[in-house]
Structure 1
Amino acid sequence: MTTLSSTAPSIWKNHAFSVLFSTALFADFSGKIYDLALPLLVFDLTHSSQWMGWMRAVEFLPNLLLALFIGVWVDKSDKKRWSQWMLIGQFTTLITAYLAVEHLAKPLVVLFPCAFLMMAFNYGYQNARMSILKHALPQQMQNLATARISSLYSIMETIGPVLSGAILMLSAIHHVFVLCAALLLLSFWRLHRLSYQENAAILSNQKAPVLKQIAQGWQLWYQEKNMRLITYAVMVINTTGAVFWIQAIYFAKADLALDSLQVSYLVAASGIGGLLGAFSAEKIRAKIGLGRLLIGSIVLESLGFLFPALYSHLFALAASLFWISSIGLYSNICIWSYRQEAFESQHIGKVAGITGSLFKLLMPFGLAASGYLVSDLGLTSVFITCCVVQLLTGLTLCFTRVAKIA
């Protein structure tokens, strides 16, 4: 197994990568606008931290219930065609959500299942995209490709909220869903240009029953001890990060009395920090190793949760989001890179499904509980709890074999 990839300066000349990158550009742009618009819409409809928490929890249920099966289905399918169907599914869901808010007196009845389906289709697309990267690119490009794809998250974190915030000033929040749907159509069109041929030999090895392949994926995951330890840690830090993010939006709206445009600028500022992380992660990994970079980012990110707890001000929240985005992206790149490198291409879909399910296992429960904890204990206590839990998780990893990963 290779755990440290050399830099491949010609990655932008690789046809498969350039198409996948541009496809992801439109899809992730749509996703970031949607991620901001949905909680703002729920707040406007309910003015409730509990409902915001429940909506966010429902979004992560597909990872808990379906990710295992999605991973196997991706391995067994034509990944390009599968990805296109996932994009169409998201497009249909967004139009349905728009029509529900436009015409129904109680749109939450439709928005909850739409939130579930949106995340399910998005996860199916993301899983297939990572599988195509694993199949289409040589091993020495894997780490760099993961870092560059990850940089899109930060770029969209910056551009998406600004654009959606500007649109929100001109129209109702749910009108943003139409823009998101249009971007997904652009992603579909771009993906259609991908010259990608499934490996017939690999597909022929995927004829075993779904449950048997899931069992095989579990065995592969369990035998890879470093991935197992990383997974346990990610289960925790994904939950602390998600709870902080959704309640930070509530804090901005309810306590700081920011309007939707101001919130969008606040979230956009955090994306600038993420760009710093995306384009420096590979160099830092080469110097200190993946394990140390992962652990350091988990520990340092946790400190960002304290900023708004110590100082209830707009600048404290802005600094917190900037810090979390810039430091937190290091851990994401480390996790995704290690998973890409640690498993063979014919198994990456099912392993990604298993780890994707486990990564989000605690999130629905944490998010659903977070709104009630805010009501009972206050935002400050929730932010401090997120910090302490994540800090202990990172420090625990220092005493494991993960710290020695190159």
Structure 2
Amino acid sequence: MNVFLTNPNGSIPTTQLQLSGSKSETNRMLLLQALYPQIKIVNASNSDDSQVMLKALKNFQLTTLNAQLVDVHHAGTAMRFLTAFFAIKEGTEVVLTGSTRMKERPVKILVEALRQLGAEISYLEKEGYPPLRIKGTKLTKQKVNLAANISSQYISALLLIAPKLENGLELVLEGEITSMPYIKMTLALLNEIGVKTLVENNTIKVIQHQLPIIHHPITVESDWSSASYWYSFIALAPIGTQITLASFKKNSLQGDSVLVEIYKNFGVETIFNDKKITLHKVANLEPATLNLELNNCPDIAQTIAVTCFGLGIVCELSGLHTLKIKETDRLLALQTELTKLGAVVSCTDDSIRINKSQMIKENVVISTYNDHRMALSFAPLALKVPIVIENADVVSKSYPGFWEDVKRFGIGVL
């Protein structure tokens, strides 16, 4: 399905939207709930990724004669988290697979770490990549050393199963840590269910724990990465435009909450009030060059890049080495699609630079590469020119109701 986006009236109504729970928080909580069924979750994400995770966990059987096939499709978080989960389910055997693109996304670092702990995991096709055959076993070893600049999902996968390991876990991270906010999120959620953790320099310890101490349901905060697209819409809109989004915390666990500070560069003010945020375009700002290190929040890089292009702002975004192994090579995809719109773009393995553009080409068809964030991040350009988003239903991976929300915002969606 393709969608044609326009801004037919040139005006935007004041809108209030309820965004779904964070996919990152939800998937962590779903795994913890599978380990500790007493956990109750409120405002879980309705994304495809979370539905895949939930289905895999619900359909999993503890005893079976044959290896169970679990297909996570495009869900990278589910692949990493379930690899760790199935590794500790004694007496079971699982074949964990995914889409063609998933079979191109490396998982060797996590597999090797689990093997250090005693896990029985083998590769069924290409060495270092899914599909995996996982024989669940009791893991008694305690200590793992990992490079600190890897995807935080590998680290979080180990931390989430750590309370169930016989001797807990001591995780030593070597070098500079990538995406620390996501690791902190995982640790905070463990603490919330009663698991004790300790962080000393680059060593993280998780204490073995039988039962969580829970006195209330755990409410998942709405997704800041989903909010990023509305920050982009407001940045590209006329002064005075505003939108209210629920439900968000001022002191969020999510790394993408840095949007509040980043979008001040584009004249967007964020007002917190009663678990809601109101985004308000207060000025047209044009910094000479915007340089941002996004090591801790790479998921919002595409949104920021498109915002800068739409406003004619020169930007250089770095710290993006993890984007090359996502649903697509996001740096290459950004360069290709922005160039079609008239941008002058250059990339390295971990950065992208967008030079000032004099015009934005109309009616360009944006390819999405089976990547939800490509569709989501380019949509706000409809405030500047008519634009076509190819394979638009890919947004269901993280934000199923996006196109309906876009209509409520006054954008024509055909």
TM-score between the two structures when normalised by the length of structure 1: 0.23
Q: Which gives a bigger RCO, structure 1 or 2 (Cα 8 Å, sep 6+)?
A: 1
The structure where helix makes up a greater share of residues is: 1
The structure where strand makes up a greater share of residues is: 2
